[in-house]
Structures are given as C-alpha cells and as structure tokens.
C-alpha cells in the first residue's frame, strides 16, 4: 500500500484527486486542508509529517493562485508559494518522502514561437509566476526525489475557474467580451489528477520537471466559445485584444507546453482539450 499525503484539500486539483481515488485501490490517501496543514507554518508542517508516520508521496496542491491579486499581495503570494513550499520540501527531505509539486505555464514570457519544453528558459511576467518559479528552485535545492509538474489553464467542476465563471456570466449577461490573443491549452484538472496518480503507480524514478496539459491550442475566446456551444448558451461572444482588457498581472501571449516527455515516460495519449471539456459540461 502506497500512502499519499495531499495538501490543499479544498483546491480543485485535490478535489479531482479525491474524485478519481477509487480507481487506485492500492493507494492510501490522506487529505489535509489549509486549516489542518498550513504550509506556511513550519512547526505545524513538521508536526503533521511526524504524526502521520510513513508517507511515501506528498502531492502539494496548496498554492496561492490569485494571479491578479498577487500583484498587490506580493508578501502573501511569496509566503505560500515560496516559504510554504520550502517547508513542505524540507519535511519531505527529513521524512524521505517523494514530493509532487504543481507548477504553471506562467513561468514563461510568451515570446516563444514553439511549445515550451521542460528545458525552456523561464522569464515570468507577473508576481504569481515569479513566486512559482522560486518555489520550483527551492525544491530543486532541497530535494533529489521530486516531480514538478507544470500545467496550464486548469478547470474542473470544482473550485473557481474559467469554465465556471463563463457559465455564470452566460446566465447573467446577453453579451461578453473575451481575449483572443493569448494562446494556451485548457486542461481538465481530473485528467491531470489521473496522470499524477499514474506517475506514482508507475514507480517512475526519473525525477525532475514534467509538463502536462491537454493537447491542442486555444485562445481564451476559443475556450469560452466552446464552453457556450457545449452548454447551449445563447450569449453573444465578442473577440477583444489583451490591450482592451487590462489586468493587474501581465499574461504571456503564448504559453503552450510541450508534453512529449510525460507522454513517452508514462506511454499515455493525452486527451484533446475539447474532448475533456465535453465530458465536464
């Protein structure tokens, strides 16, 4: 039996892990909310790890993910995404636990003309991306047994995300405008959850950084358009450019991830983003 600690129990990814856990009967899951395990509290992190006995893996779903708010809450974002990650990584080191940490496509500046690989140069444009990059570096300094999984544009039936926002706006408005010049890959968090657990089950020891997103490329406008088509929403959708919708945080114009490494490592075929979205809707 493999014992897995999942932090950030109430996050959409952790809830997706809970929803697919029954497919992995050889795994024993322990879920901890931010109240039960505050990753910024080093004493609590140390005590929780010790109290749980032998843990094999820790999937860190605890993170500060409010991209725009991070521009004004720099200290809070840094405390969770860097100091908190350091606390978790240190506890994993002391207890011989393999860490699986979730990172982001927002590490990149969007100037590439090709999908970003795990070796691509990072250059975050916003505070959120900066803190996530520093969190990655902390893990690499402290641990050798770790998987950092960079993903993009996560959505699901859980938590707050673009899909749920669009469905809500469709009920409240006759027309909305959505940015059409930022390109990425919408990713169903349940697909990511299953891949993380397959990674554990494969007993993969090729530690390091992996990219995972659903296949295909879309703009936020394309994503919204498909949401409304699948949900039979009558709302009128208008294309706009980024400069017509200024936000506190600058987003990369292009943040498509190359997922070849994880596909070959696990011998998986990654679902096309529209197919996964159809399942959720």
How far is 121 from 204, CA to CA, in rounded Å? Answer: 25
Largest CA-CA distance found in the chain, in angstroms, rounded = 55
Q: Per-residue b/e over 167-176, b at no fewer than 16 CB within 10 Å?
A: eebbeeeeeb
Q: Per-residue b/e over 73-88, b at no fewer than 16 CB within 10 Å?
A: beeebbebbbbbbbbb
Q: Is 245 a catalytic residue?
A: no
Active-site choice (78, 128, 210, 221): 128
Cβ atoms of 37 and 88 within 8 Å: the answer is: no
Assigned token pair, 210: 């992996």
Q: 210: closest CA among 256, 251, 257?
A: 257
Instruction: DSSP letter for 80, please.
Output: I
At 253 the three-state DSSP class reads coil
Q: 180: closest CA among 222, 216, 215, 214?
A: 222
How far is 209 from 108, CA to CA, in rounded Å? Answer: 15
How far is 44 from 87, CA to CA, in rounded Å? Answer: 10
What residues are labeled active site?
128
């Amino acid at each position: 039996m493999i014992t897995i600690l999942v932090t950030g129990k109430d996050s959409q990814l952790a809830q997706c892990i809970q929803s697919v856990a029954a497919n992995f009967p050889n795994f024993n899951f322990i879920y901890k909310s931010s109240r039960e395990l505050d990753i910024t509290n080093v004493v609590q992190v140390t005590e929780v790890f010790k109290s749980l006995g032998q843990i094999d893996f820790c999937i860190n779903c605890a993170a500060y993910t409010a991209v725009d708010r991070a521009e004004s809450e720099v200290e809070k974002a840094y405390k969770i995404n860097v100091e908190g990650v350091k606390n978790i990584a240190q506890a994993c080191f002391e207890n011989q636990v393999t860490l699986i940490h979730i990172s982001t496509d927002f590490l990149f500046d969007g100037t590439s003309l090709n999908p970003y690989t795990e070796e691509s140069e990072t250059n975050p444009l916003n505070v959120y991306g900066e803190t996530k990059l520093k969190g990655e570096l902390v893990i690499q300094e402290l641990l050798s047994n770790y998987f950092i999984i960079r993903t993009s544009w996560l959505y699901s039936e859980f938590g707050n995300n673009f899909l749920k926002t669009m469905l809500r706006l469709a009920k409240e408005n006759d027309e909305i405008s959505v940015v059409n010049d930022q390109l990425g890959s919408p990713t169903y968090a349940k697909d990511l959850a299953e891949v993380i657990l397959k990674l554990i089950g494969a007993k993969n020891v090729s530690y390091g950084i992996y990219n995972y997103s659903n296949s295909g490329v879309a703009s936020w406008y394309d994503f919204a358009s498909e949401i409304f088509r699948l949900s039979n929403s009558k709302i009128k959708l208008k294309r706009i450019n980024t400069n017509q919708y200024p936000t506190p945080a600058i987003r990369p114009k292009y943040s498509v991830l190359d997922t070849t490494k994880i596909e070959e490592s696990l011998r998986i075929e990654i679902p096309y983003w529209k197919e996964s979205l159809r399942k959720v809707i």
